[in-house]
Amino acid sequence: MASALVKPLLFGYFRSSCTWRVRIALALKGIQYDQQPINLIKDGGQQLAIIEYLEETRPSPALLPRDPVQRARCRMISDHITSGIQPLQNLAVLKKVGDGSQEWAQHFITRGFQALEQLLQDTAGRYCVGDEVTMADLCLVPQVANADRFKVDMAPYPTISRINQSLMKLEAFQVSHPSRQPDTPPELRA
């Protein structure tokens, strides 16, 4: 007898890129969940491992390509975004930087997007890795939102911009958007 799957409880913060990635995965997989807003600045955060767990326990729809080479590329893109770009504009880092934090964030997002744009030349179809939504796409959308927040010029990144626009047309990406979360301040709601 198969064990019943428990309705997940997601601890998160409306603007957290990490939490947003998990919300997208839950929405794509059609998983109902409860949400507990917390201040991630004080209480810690989510990890990409949650998405891998969801993929292993609820494999449909797949967020990792079946082909091992494409799967490796998907993980490479995801890691590039979640480890190489996103942590450098976390609030704790920006507080340490102090004055000039906007320029700091812009610099590292730009540097990361330059490399990402090149990576996507070899992997992109309609989305980051081919024509199916993958874990890489879940990482891309919150990072583009961060780029917008820090006023990064997106003109040099046409592939990133095109993929982001395609993804934002999908319901899972819309319902998981930070502006639609229960802890979003009223002035930031959509």
Domain ranges of the chain: 10-184
CA pair distance 130, 123, nearest whole angstrom: 6
Q: How many CA atoms lie less than 13 Å away from 49 in the CB half-sphere?
A: 3
Burial 105-137 (b: 16+ CB within 10 A, else e): bbebbbebbeebbebbeebbeebbbbebbbbbb
Distance CA 15, CA 166 (A): 21
pTM higher than the cut 0.85: yes
pLDDT of res. 11: 84
Per-residue model confidence as pLDDT tens for the chain (190 residues): 444 567 888 888 888 888 899 999 999 999 999 988 887 655 454 568 889 999 999 999 999 999 999 999 999 999 999 999 998 888 888 889 999 999 999 999 999 999 999 999 999 999 999 999 999 999 999 999 999 999 999 999 999 999 999 999 999 999 999 999 988 898 988 7
pLDDT value at residue 2: 47
- Give the pLDDT of residue 43: 45
Give the model's pLDDT for residue 188: 86
| d(C-alpha 71, C-alpha 162), whole Å | 21
Rounded-to-integer distance, Cα 34 and Cα 10, Å: 6
Residues 25, 173 contacting (CB under 8 angstroms)? no
- d(CA 86, CA 80) in angstroms, rounded, equals 9
pLDDT at 4: 56
CA-closest candidate to residue 130, choices 49, 63, 83: 63
Tell me how far apart the alpha carbons of residues 84 and 115 are, in angstroms, rounded to a whole number.
Answer: 10
Q: Residue 149 in contact with residue 110, Cβ under 8 Å?
A: no
Output phi, psi for 184, to 5 deg: -70, 130
CATH of domain 10-184: 1.20.1050.10
